[in-house]
């Protein structure tokens, strides 16, 4: 079979991310599961999405909630069985929903049989599956100064063989050695296994850090991620991705979205440019850093202008005009995932303007060029967890940063809790709020992580019957994307504004043009619209203030969003 045969259906897709542990519990053990997902598929059909990205459901000791895999071809028993999974896939396909699985191949769990073998002796055939090195100073110090994404050293000493292994995440997540062709072949087998079972694509975890610079040199000291200049976007990763594409992915009708940390637009194009034959799109993080300085834990006030600048840059740079040798690239549009705070709490207002601002954010994002990704609960405007005690948080990253902040930086408990409250990944991991029942309809028993106390006000069941709800608004957005081709293929152009809080852009293809207007503030602001355009030129399509405004030139009210067809 030939890659060219397939239509690029993913460009018209709308993806919904499920974090299985927190979506729906079917057997009342407090943990979401696969049968739970099956129960909620009709909800997803009504929403209008047509692809599900499922965060890991593989066997895992759950040091990092499934991103530490101990068996890539079987299902974690808390989530169900492979039979359940097959049933889920069948039920999805029956409803026209495709399934994208999470491929976590930078590292395995330390309980994966490969690692168990690898650490058993220096001459084990699987020794080279991982990155083992002798320590410095007669073994007393780690091989280099690299630090982990979850803070602390990136090396763990193993007394049995007197060497250290590299782990860029937790010490229970040893990094695989991608320079070893056997490791690449194992990954290909895993891909084939799931593709042959019928999956439609992969979200590839931290794909741009697989290849490490030869010799593993010391990195320049940084407040976080010392050493990263020696593994971010190393030239060989591009070879490896083309190898996966050539040997496996091109033979199936599937797509890939790579999670690429700290990439610039130009680096991203090397992964997604159509001529590169590597990935179909990437998740970048530039817009996820606009409220931080250098590091996610150094938080600064959110300024809409910064966000808009980044969004426009990605829209413009990926069109490929600056680098025709790479070809055009395709964007992945997201504000949320299981690692990020809730967008309404972060870029909107989860108080008075909760509903308006959640709708505005969706308008600003999902009419851009690219494939929309909706993270579970985002479509009902779920907010940050607002936990008050450290014990309420479950995430390994959160607990690690708390320890480091207190012990090494000498920050007060209060200061650390403030950071965590804003930035912890658990903000996105509280149970999906289906109803106002005790456990939000997620489960009948106390869940693995507490339900957000606002479930009585924010839940899907309330919103399903309300035409003015955030959920209904998301349905409208998805329907509009399906109706207007220009929203898929049209060119993007920002209409720059004097106000730093207004974001207006157009999508244009041939004679069709759609204008999207959003206000990121609680003030009313006059938009700047070319004078030549009269009121009659604008056909109102949708907005978050109900009734059609009198004129497109009219003030943008607090967090207002309006969408017009330009004639
Ligand atoms: O959330 C982050 C840390 O604050 C990110 O840096 C995150 O670690 C990075 O985006 C990689 O994320 C992915 O791989 C991790 C896993 O913990 C995340 O859940 C996953 O999305 C390790 O597999
Ligand atoms: Ca369960």
pLDDT tens digits, 346-371:
999 999 999 999 999 999 999 999 99
Tell me, in angstroms, the distance from the centre of ligand 2 to residue 197's CA: 24
Taking each helix axis from N to C terminus, what angle separates 181-197 and 235-247, rounded to the nearest 10 degrees?
40
Q: Give the ranges where 378-537 is alpha helix by DSSP (H).
A: 396-407, 413-423, 460-464, 470-483, 486-489
Element (H, E) at 541: strand 538-543
Structure confidence at residue 2 as a pLDDT band (50, 70, 90): very low
Strand-pair category, 201-204 with 255-259: parallel
Q: Which residues contact 302 (CB under 8 A, 6 or more apart)?
A: 290, 291, 346, 347
Q: Is the CB of 423 under 6 A from ligand 1?
A: no
Across 11-37, average pLDDT: 98
Average pLDDT, the chain: 96
Across 73-81, average pLDDT: 98
pLDDT at res. 551: 85
For atom 8 of ligand 1, the residue with the nearest CA is 149
Structure confidence at residue 548 as a pLDDT band (50, 70, 90): confident
pTM of this structure: 0.97
CA distance 91 to 97: 8
CA distance 337 to 351: 21
Taking each helix axis from N to C terminus, what angle separates 470-483 and 354-366, rounded to the nearest 10 degrees?
20
Helices (H) and strands (E) in the chain, counts: 15, 20
pLDDT at res. 431: 98
Looking at the predicted structure, is the pLDDT value of residue 532 above 90?
no
pLDDT at res. 123: 98
Tell me, in angstroms, the distance from the centre of ligand 1 to residue 560's CA: 33
The DSSP call for residue 218 is: P
* Closest-CA residue to 23 (of 68, 96, 88, 104): 88
For atom 16 of ligand 1, the residue with the nearest CA is 67
Looking at the predicted structure, is the pLDDT value of residue 339 above 60?
yes
Tell me, in angstroms, the distance from the centre of ligand 1 to residue 423's CA: 13
Give the pair of three-digit tokens for residue 552: 């497109």
Terminal-residue alpha carbon distance, the chain:
44
The DSSP call for residue 231 is: T
Lowest-pLDDT choice from 251-265, 311-325, 427-441, 467-481: 311-325
Higher pLDDT, 322 or 491: 491
Looking at the predicted structure, is the pLDDT value of residue 24 above 90?
yes
Q: Is 33 a catalytic residue?
A: no
pLDDT at res. 6: 56
Tell me, in angstroms, the distance from the centre of ligand 2 to residue 472's CA: 29
Across 272-298, average pLDDT: 96
CA distance 154 to 224: 11
pLDDT at res. 4: 47
Backbone angles phi, psi at 149, to 5 degrees: -60, -30
CA distance 170 to 147: 11
Residues in the chain: 567
pLDDT at res. 7: 62
Give the pair of three-digit tokens for residue 232: 């971010």
Looking at the predicted structure, is the pLDDT value of residue 107 above 60?
yes
Residue 320: C-alpha distances to residues 7, 208, 269 (Å): 20, 20, 8
Looking at the predicted structure, is the pLDDT value of residue 5 above 60?
no
- Among 64, 156, 205, 270, which one carries the catalytic annotation? 205
Tell me, in angstroms, the distance from the centre of ligand 2 to residue 377's CA: 19
Across 75-94, average pLDDT: 98
Ligand 1 atom at minimum distance from 259 CA: 10
3-state secondary structure of 283: strand
Give the pair of three-digit tokens for residue 272: 């997604």
Q: Is 259 a catalytic residue?
A: yes
Tally of CA atoms within 13 A in the half-sphere of 28 that contains its CB: 2
Report all structural domains of the chain as residue ranges with CATH numbers, in order of start: 1-104+334-385+431-483 (3.20.20.80), 113-166 (3.90.400.10), 386-423 (no CATH), 491-566 (2.60.40.1180)
Residue that has been written with the tokens 């239509």 in this structure: 7
For residues 167 and 173, the answer to whether their CB atoms sit within 8 Å is yes
| Closest ligand (CA of 439) | 2
Structure confidence at residue 567 as a pLDDT band (50, 70, 90): confident
Structure confidence at residue 549 as a pLDDT band (50, 70, 90): confident
Q: Is the CB of 64 under 6 A from ligand 1?
A: yes
CA distance 112 to 125: 15
pLDDT at res. 421: 98
Q: Best mutation site among 54, 109, 149 for ligand 1, i.e. most ligand atoms within 8 A of its Cβ?
A: 149
**pLDDT tens digits for 241-272?**
999 999 999 999 999 999 999 999 999 999 99
Could you give the percent of the chain with pLDDT greater than 70? 99
For residues 422 and 384, the answer to whether their CB atoms sit within 8 Å is yes
Ligand 1 atom at minimum distance from 337 CA: 21
**pLDDT tens digits for 108-128?**
999 999 999 999 999 999 999
3-state secondary structure of 565: strand
Give the pair of three-digit tokens for residue 360: 């505005």
Q: Is the CB of 425 under 6 A from ligand 1?
A: yes
Q: Is the CB of 395 under 6 A from ligand 1?
A: no
pLDDT at res. 144: 98
CA distance 240 to 400: 32
Element (H, E) at 195: helix 181-197
Q: Which residues contact 513 (CB under 8 A, 6 or more apart)?
A: 486, 490, 506, 507, 565, 566
Q: What is the DSSP string of 238-280?
A: HHHHHHHHHHTGGGSS-EEEEE-TT--HHHHHHHH-TTT-S-S
pLDDT at res. 1: 39
Structure confidence at residue 3 as a pLDDT band (50, 70, 90): very low
Tally of CA atoms within 13 A in the half-sphere of 468 that contains its CB: 7
3-state secondary structure of 18: strand
């Amino acid at each position: 079979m030939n890659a060219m045969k397939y239509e690029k259906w993913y460009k018209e897709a709308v993806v919904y991310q499920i974090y299985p542990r927190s979506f729906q519990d079917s057997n009342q053990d407090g943990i979401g599961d696969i049968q739970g997902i099956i129960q909620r598929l009709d909800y997803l059909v009504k929403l209008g999405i047509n692809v599900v990205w499922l965060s890991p459901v593989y066997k895992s000791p759950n040091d990092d909630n499934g991103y530490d895999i101990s068996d890539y071809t079987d299902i974690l028993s808390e989530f169900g069985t492979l039979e359940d999974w097959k049933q889920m896939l069948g039920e999805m396909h029956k409803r026209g929903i495709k399934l994208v699985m999470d491929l976590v191949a930078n590292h395995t769990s330390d309980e994966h049989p490969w690692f168990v073998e690898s650490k058993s002796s220096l001459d084990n055939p699987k020794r080279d599956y991982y990155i083992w090195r002798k320590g410095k100073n007669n073994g007393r110090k780690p091989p280099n100064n690299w630090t982990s994404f979850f803070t602390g050293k990136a090396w763990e000493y193993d007394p049995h063989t007197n060497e250290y292994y590299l782990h860029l995440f937790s010490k229970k997540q040893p990094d695989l050695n991608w320079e070893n062709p056997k490791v690449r072949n194992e990954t290909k087998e895993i891909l084939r296994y799931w593709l042959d079972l019928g999956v439609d694509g992969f979200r590839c975890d931290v794909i741009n850090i697989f290849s490490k610079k030869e010799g593993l040199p010391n990195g320049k000291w940084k407040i976080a991620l010392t050493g990263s200049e020696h593994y971010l976007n190393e030239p060989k990763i591009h070879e490896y991705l083309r190898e996966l594409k050539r040997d496996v992915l091109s033979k199936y009708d599937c797509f890939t979205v790579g999670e690429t940390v700290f990439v610039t637009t130009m680096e991203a194009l090397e992964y997604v440019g159509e001529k590169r034959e590597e990935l179909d799109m990437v998740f970048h993080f530039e817009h996820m850093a606009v409220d931080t300085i250098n590091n996610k834990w150094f938080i600064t006030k959110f300024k809409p202008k910064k966000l808009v600048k980044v969004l426009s840059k990605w829209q413009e740079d990926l069109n490929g005009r600056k680098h025709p040798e790479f070809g055009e690239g395709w964007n992945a549009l997201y504000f949320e995932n299981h690692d990020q705070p809730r967008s309404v709490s972060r870029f909107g207002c989860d108080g008075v303007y909760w509903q308006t601002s959640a709708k505005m954010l969706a308008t600003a994002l999902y009419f851009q060029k690219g494939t929309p990704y909706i993270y579970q609960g985002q479509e009902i405007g779920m907010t940050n967890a607002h936990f008050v005690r450290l014990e309420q948080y479950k995430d390994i990253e959160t607990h690690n940063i708390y320890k480091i902040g207190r012990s090494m930086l000498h920050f007060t408990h209060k200061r650390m809790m403030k950071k965590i409250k804003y930035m912890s990944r658990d903000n996105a991991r509280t149970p999906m709020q289906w109803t106002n029942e005790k456990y939000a309809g997620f489960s009948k028993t106390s869940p693995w992580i507490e339900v957000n106390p606002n479930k009585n006000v924010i839940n899907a069941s309330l919103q399903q019957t309300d035409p003015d709800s955030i959920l209904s608004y998301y349905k409208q957005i998805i329907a509009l994307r399906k109706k207007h081709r220009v929203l898929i293929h049209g060119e993007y152009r920002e209409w720059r504004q004097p106000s730093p809080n207004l974001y207006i852009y157009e999508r244009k293809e041939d004679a069709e043009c759609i204008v999207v207007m959003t206000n990121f503030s609680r003030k009313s602001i006059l938009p700047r619209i070319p004078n030549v355009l009269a009121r009659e030129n604008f056909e109102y399509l949708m907005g978050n203030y109900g009734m059609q405004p009198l004129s497109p030139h009219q003030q943008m009210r607090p967090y207002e969003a309006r969408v017009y067809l330009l004639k």
